[in-house]
Amino acid sequence: MNKTELVAAIAAKAGISKKAAEASLNAFTDAVQGALKKGDKVTLVGFGTFDVKKRAARNGRNPRTKEVIKIKAAKVPVFKAGAGLKKAVEKK
C-alpha cells in the first residue's frame, strides 16, 4: 500500500474527503518526526511505539573492493509493533 492508497483507505474508513485524510496523515507524520527529532518516544497503545536508537560506529567492508571502511555512529528511527497490531496480523 502506498501513500495514495492509504489516504483513500483513511478517507473511506473515516467518512471524510481525501484532501482531509491526506492533511491528517501529513500532520501525523510531521508530529511523529518532530517528536523523534527532539528525542521523544511516540507510543500508540495497542498499535506500537516509534523511537530513536543509537547505532554504534563500526567497521564494514566494501563488497566491491573488500576494503575495510569505518561506518559512523548514527541515530536511526525504529518502530516496535504493539500487542494489538501483532495479534491483528497473526495467522489463524
List, for residues 21-46, the tens digit of each pLDDT value.
999 999 999 999 999 999 999 999 99
Distance CA 51, CA 20 (A): 27
- Say if residue 32 is in the same domain as residue 20: yes
- Say if residue 92 is in the same domain as residue 53: yes
**CA torsion angle for 82, 88, 89, 91 (degrees, to 10)?**
130
Find the mean pLDDT for residues 57-77.
95
- Say if residue 32 is in the same domain as residue 65: no
C-alpha closest to that of 50 among 32, 76, 31 = 32
Task: Please give the model's pTM, rounded to 2 decimal places.
Answer: 0.80
CATH number of the domain residue 86 falls in: 4.10.520.10
Which range of residues forms the domain containing residue 78? 41-92
Q: Can you tell me which residue has the cell 471524510?
A: 16
- Say if residue 3 is in the same domain as residue 13: yes
- Say if residue 47 is in the same domain as residue 88: yes
The structural domain count of the chain equals 2
